[in-house]
Structure 1
Amino acid sequence: MADKLNQYRSKRNASRTPEPVPEEPPEPRGGASFVIQEHHARSLHWDLRLERDGVLVSWAIPRGLPADPATNHLAVHTEDHPMEYLTFHGQIPQGEYGGGAMTIWDQGTYETEKWSEREVKVVLHGSRAEGRFVLFQTNGKNWMIHRMDPPSRAPLPDVAPMLPSRRSRLPRDTAAYAYEFAWGGRRLLVPIEGGRTTAAREHPWLRALAASFGSRTALLDGELATLSGAEVLVFYDLLYDDGRVLLDEPYEVRRAALETLDLSTPRWQTAPSWPGDARPVLAAAREQGLPGVVAKRLDSPYEPGESAAWLFIPS
């Protein structure tokens, strides 16, 4: 019987990688486990591995499992992996095959509905991956993965930015608002899905931001501002978070969710926000030569277009 791990071994040096590299051929067994690993290699992707005849039959999925039956995702059929890979996670050294960080995104069991050379239909039972999927071969060696269940989450909303109304003075009920600097930059909504963002077409440096989210899907609202001579993306709202649409949530709830993302690097960061007293914020905006402040009602939903719930007060 042919050794199903020959191709796997030929791509790895056991003395240079922490990956399991068994010396003996695999022995057939009848289990039905699966693992999905998030792999930050040369490009971010997810590896789906299904136990079959003593090995893990594997596909690399650049955008992760599809959440909606209307969208199929590419699935690149790769070499079979050893059963020890069910629990593998760690740092594959750069320069080695698949170099980069690998973590376990989900694991569990699966049921087989069909298994042929060109089509694999399974039901996954994991904590994050749950449902019916089919992997099918297209022209040549290409494979795709299709979700057969209804959508597993709400789709990313297509929404226009919320804009402040201009006022000459601060609101009277100051305790009902949070206050932020008006940055005087260019507004940018950033959708992130499958570790990628369409905003990177114009701003390639945002690829790193999207990759840092892994499989987490989000829609961020922010502004490209110039701070200390450098362009920085300042985020001040979160409109969608991993399947949950936040547009109808109060601003203070959206703001709290944004802060849990801990966005803080030299190129992107969370904008500071101060609830309550606006006077020191306005004074600081004047000192820094900023256009003014934006007062945001703590109880306001996200309303596309100009809204009286957000007020721009010039400095």
Structure 2
Amino acid sequence: MSDKLSRYRSKRDPGRTPEPIPETAAASPGGNAFVIQEHHARSLHWDLRLERDGVLVSWAVPKGLPADPGTNHLAVQTEDHPMEYLTFHGEIPQGEYGGGTMTVWDTGTYDTEKWSDREVKFVLRGERAAGRFVLFRTRDKNWMIHRMGSAVRDPFPSVEPMLPTARARPPKDAAAYAFEFAWGGRRLLVPIDGGRTDAAREHPWLRGLAESFGSRSAVLDGEVATLGGTELLVFYDLLYDNGRSLVAEPYTARRAALEALGLTGAHWQTAPSWPGEAGPVLRAAREQGLPGVVAKRLDSAYAPGPSKSWLLIPT
């Protein structure tokens, strides 16, 4: 039993890492505990660990558990971990194997439906991770993980932005609108899933934003503008949050969900919004040399393409 952890121990120095390093594996055959740890190492991933014959058989899953049976995720098998790792969380020093921050994302029990060298079929019973999954080996250490059954979240919405209709004057029923600056930048929708975003291909600095979301999925709407000589992504809408589509929700609900995220960083921020205040916002936009103001109906859903629920009033 003790040789099951030889590879684990060979990768770790007990004088440098706070990780548990027992001499032998636990003698608890038949146990069925699991843990999923969120691991901010060189790249963000989730570690899935299933108890088996006194150790935690482990896979690193870069994008986390799939929420949709139509999408499989890569799972790379790593060394068996000791049972003490079920509750481990903390900072593994940089320069050490797996250096970075590790937190317990979920824990619970699981039922085994099949276990072989090439396929592991199981049912997770956790608070955040629940349902039937199958791990199947594709090549060497590389496996794929597949969710069986129905999806556990809404599908991502269309990535077509909602566009304002030009209008010379503010609406007369100003109390029915929120007023925001028109930034004169380039529109950008940012989908985030599994701590990653495709928008980082063009804007690498968005990797930090995506990683900060962890396993939380989102689709953000905003503009890349240059303010004070610095490129800044200004967010002003939230189309999808934590597995739920918000496009049918009114602007007020989407705006509240966006503000609750507290998005503030060196390269991104949440745009200010002023309900019912057309005149002061227009004056401030003129003073700052901005091209205009966008009036957004408080009760409007998010509809891709041109819409009369959003009005662009030039300065």
- For Structure 1 versus Structure 2, the TM-score category normalised by the shorter chain is over 0.9
> Counterparts of 2:23 and 2:104 in 1: how far apart (Å)?
24
Match of 2:86 in 1: 86
- Within-5 A mapping of 1:60-79: 60-79=60-79
SS in structure 2 at match of 1:313: strand
> Counterparts of 1:303 and 1:104 in 2: how far apart (Å)?
38
One-letter identity of the residue aligned with 2:268: W
> Counterparts of 1:156 and 1:14 in 2: how far apart (Å)?
44
Match of 1:99 in 2: 99
| Large movers: runs of 4+ above 6 Å | none
> Counterparts of 1:80 and 1:205 in 2: how far apart (Å)?
35
Give the Å deviation of 1:24.
3.2
Match of 1:127 in 2: 127
Unaligned ranges ≥5, structure 2: none
Aligned residues of 1:4 and 1:26 also touching (Cα < 8 A): no
- TM-score between the two structures when normalised by the length of structure 1: 0.98
SS in structure 2 at match of 1:285: helix
- Within-5 A mapping of 1:169-184: 169-184=169-184
Match of 1:113 in 2: 113
Could you report, residue by residue, the CA deviation over 1:34-55 in whole angstroms, capped at 9, with x for unpaired residues?
Answer: 0000000000000000011111
Give the Å deviation of 1:10.
0.6
SS in structure 2 at match of 1:5: helix
Aligned residues of 2:238 and 2:254 also touching (Cα < 8 A): yes
One-letter identity of the residue aligned with 1:257: A
Match of 1:297 in 2: 297
Match of 2:141 in 1: 141
Task: Report percent identity of matched pairs.
Answer: 75
- Confirm or deny that 1:238 pairs with 2:224: no
SS in structure 1 at match of 2:300: coil
Aligned residues of 1:165 and 1:307 also touching (Cα < 8 A): yes
One-letter identity of the residue aligned with 1:249: E
Give the Å deviation of 1:186.
0.2
Give the Å deviation of 1:247.
0.6
Match of 1:19 in 2: 19
Aligned residues of 1:45 and 1:63 also touching (Cα < 8 A): yes
Match of 1:41 in 2: 41
Unaligned ranges ≥5, structure 1: none
> Counterparts of 2:108 and 2:141 in 1: how far apart (Å)?
27
Give the Å deviation of 1:126.
0.7
Aligned residues of 2:216 and 2:241 also touching (Cα < 8 A): yes
SS in structure 2 at match of 1:138: strand
One-letter identity of the residue aligned with 2:307: S
One-letter identity of the residue aligned with 1:157: P
Q: CA RMSD in A?
A: 1.0
SS in structure 1 at match of 2:85: helix
Aligned residues of 1:3 and 1:26 also touching (Cα < 8 A): no
> Counterparts of 2:75 and 2:135 in 1: how far apart (Å)?
8
Aligned residues of 2:223 and 2:233 also touching (Cα < 8 A): yes
Give the Å deviation of 1:70.
1.2
Aligned residues of 2:49 and 2:56 also touching (Cα < 8 A): yes
One-letter identity of the residue aligned with 1:36: I
Give the Å deviation of 1:2.
5.0
One-letter identity of the residue aligned with 1:58: S
Give the Å deviation of 1:8.
0.6
- Within-5 A mapping of 1:161-310: 161-310=161-310
SS in structure 2 at match of 1:70: coil
- TM-score between the two structures when normalised by the length of structure 2: 0.98
- Total equivalences in the alignment: 315
SS in structure 2 at match of 1:302: coil
> Counterparts of 2:187 and 2:141 in 1: how far apart (Å)?
42
> Counterparts of 1:22 and 1:43 in 2: how far apart (Å)?
27
Give the Å deviation of 1:22.
1.1
Name whichever of 144-153 and 223-232 sits farther off: 144-153
SS in structure 1 at match of 2:139: coil
Could you report, residue by residue, the CA deviation over 1:107-128 in whole angstroms, capped at 9, with x for unpaired residues?
Answer: 1100000011111100001111
Give the Å deviation of 1:139.
2.7
> Counterparts of 1:75 and 1:256 in 2: how far apart (Å)?
36
SS in structure 1 at match of 2:239: strand
> Counterparts of 1:226 and 1:98 in 2: how far apart (Å)?
37
